[in-house]
């Protein structure tokens, strides 16, 4: 379980680092007026953050993805030529992150509903130090 989480952290860092690199590369897909590309690029960001934070903290994944998108737009307005930063880009990035978080939450709910539950057997008798479970 710990190895899986570490691998997930590495994948998230590499992917989000790539997104940041795309955001500051002149002429990249993240800087063009394609709203669909920006939304699609942030679906895995929302999904990875939701997987890292857990299903109960889905809202934190949305908040962090939105803050990340706002940071990228603010950075573009400071370090890139005029016209790279746009408030609508933040809307599309947040929409993609919400979609990614939603996919993880729904997939987790479906997985938990389909998994059989293993309840511990109730004890019916005790024979010395041994407990005899109910069949």
Residue-wise pLDDT tens digits, 52-74? 998 889 999 999 999 999 999 89
Please choose, from the candidates 35, 85, 96, the residue with its C-alpha nearest in 3D space to the C-alpha of residue 61: 96
Q: Return the domain boundaries, the chain.
A: 2-112
Residue range 59-115, pLDDT digits in tens:
999 999 999 999 998 988 888 777 677 888 899 999 999 999 999 999 987 776 655
pLDDT at position 119 is 59
Residue count of the chain, please give it: 135
pLDDT at position 15 is 95
- DSSP-assigned states of every residue in 68-104: HHHHHHHHHHHHS-TTS--HHHHHHHHHHHHHHHHHH
Contact criterion met (CB below 8 Å) for 39 and 93: yes
| Residue 129: pLDDT over 80 | no
| Residue 123: pLDDT over 60 | no
């Amino acid at each position: 379980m710990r190895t899986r989480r570490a691998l997930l952290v590495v994948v998230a860092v590499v992917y989000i680092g790539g997104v940041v690199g795309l955001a500051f590369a002149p002429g990249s897909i993240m800087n063009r007026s394609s709203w669909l590309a920006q939304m699609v690029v942030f679906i895995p960001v929302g999904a990875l953050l939701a997987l890292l934070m857990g299903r109960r903290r889905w809202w934190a994944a949305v908040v962090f993805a939105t803050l990340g998108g706002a940071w990228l737009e603010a950075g573009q307005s400071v370090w890139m030529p005029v016209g790279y930063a746009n408030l609508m880009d933040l809307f599309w990035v947040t929409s993609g992150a919400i979609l990614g978080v939603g996919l993880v939450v729904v997939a987790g709910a479906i997985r938990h509903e389909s998994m059989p539950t293993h309840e511990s057997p109730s004890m019916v008798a005790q024979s010395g130090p041994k407990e005899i479970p109910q069949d």
